[in-house]
Every structure is written in structure tokens, then in C-alpha cells.
């Protein structure tokens, strides 16, 4: 994995995130040298979902109203069914995500997290992947869906499921190291 020392990464999540899809990027990006903050709607802890039941809690570093997109180089959106479904109805969460895109920063989304990209309009015309059950949602939002381990389009890094996390994290680190991305109209 590439060295991304000095970079700052936000992970936006709430209760019901897929355990591995938050913890693996959190740990791997920290091991690569990045400062990583878990950002959520409320302070304290958020509880993950681990396969068929509630998982372990994860400490929230900042609340969404405390976090400023300009303080970060990249944003990671873990999946799970519950987490993105709760976040996609929160205007502040969608605005936070859009600001990363508008500032040409890296956004990583795995599994069901592309639902958040559907809500923000970011997917239109972009090559992406997601968990197979939301493929139609992604296509209906204008995304060019493909069944690949990791797909990157102008700093937007997407993966399908927890089995893709190593490739997802490697590609995220590479994109973060490269920095800002030129965005073309869809």
C-alpha cells in the first residue's frame, strides 16, 4: 500500500455500517500514514453490523456538524444496508459528500454506500460498481455499472463487497496520494 503520510481522511458513517467496510479502510489507511477520523451524526460511538447481527462499536472522532470538508483530502463511505439508508435522508450528510466531489477530492464508496452517491447526483455518467442488489439503482441514477472488484473514475473509487476491501484500500491510497482530480461533465 502506498505511503499517504500527511493526508487526512474522513469516514462518514452511522449505526448499521458493515463492520469490515469501516474497520478495514480505517486501519489500512492509518497504517499507510493517513490521519483518519470517523464522522457521524452524533457523538460517542456507532455500532456496526457484522454479517447477521450487531457488531462492535466504533468511536466517533467528530460529529458531522463539527467536521469541515476542507480539512480532509478524501472521504470514505462504508456500506451495509442500514448505514447508507439512514445517511441518505440527512441533508447535512449529502452536502458533506457533495463538497468533496465539488472540490475534486477522492471519494471511496463500497457495497451499498453508492446509494449516497445516487442521492447526491455524483454517479451520473461515472464508471462505478456496487453491491449487486443496488445495481439497478446505480444504473437508474446514470452510473455506468460494472461487476469488478474496484472501479475508479476521476477519483471516485467504488467496490462491491467486503471481499474487495484489499483492492479497494490499495486503490484508495493510490488515488489519495495522487491528490486532486480533474472532473469532466458527465
Active site residues: 112
Q: Is 52 exposed, middle or buried (0-12, 13-18, 19+ CB in 10 A)?
A: exposed
d(CA 21, CA 29): 12
Beta bridge partners of 36: 9
d(CA 67, CA 52): 31
d(CA 37, CA 153): 24
Please identify which residue in the block is written with the cell numbers 439512514. 86
Amino acid at each position: 500500500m502506498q505511503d499517504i503520510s500527511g493526508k487526512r481522511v474522513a469516514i462518514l458513517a452511522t449505526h448499521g455500517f458493515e463492520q469490515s467496510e469501516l474497520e478495514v479502510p480505517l486501519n489500512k489507511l492509518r497504517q499507510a500514514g493517513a490521519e483518519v477520523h470517523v464522522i457521524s451524526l452524533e457523538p460517542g460511538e456507532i455500532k456496526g453490523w457484522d454479517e447477521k447481527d450487531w457488531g462492535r462499536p466504533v468511536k466517533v472522532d467528530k460529529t458531522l456538524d463539527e467536521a469541515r470538508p476542507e480539512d480532509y483530502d478524501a472521504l470514505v463511505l462504508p456500506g451495509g444496508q442500514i448505514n447508507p439508508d439512514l445517511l441518505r435522508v440527512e441533508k447535512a450528510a449529502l452536502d458533506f459528500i457533495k463538497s468533496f466531489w465539488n472540490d475534486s477530492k477522492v471519494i471511496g464508496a463500497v457495497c451499498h454506500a453508492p446509494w449516497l452517491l445516487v442521492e447526491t447526483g455524483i454517479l451520473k455518467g461515472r464508471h462505478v460498481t456496487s453491491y449487486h442488489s443496488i445495481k439497478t439503482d446505480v444504473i437508474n441514477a446514470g452510473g455506468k455499472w460494472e461487476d469488478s472488484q474496484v472501479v475508479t473514475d476521476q477519483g471516485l473509487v467504488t467496490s462491491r463487497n467486503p471481499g474487495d476491501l484489499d483492492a479497494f484500500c490499495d486503490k484508495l491510497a493510490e488515488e489519495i496520494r495522487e491528490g486532486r482530480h480533474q472532473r469532466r461533465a458527465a
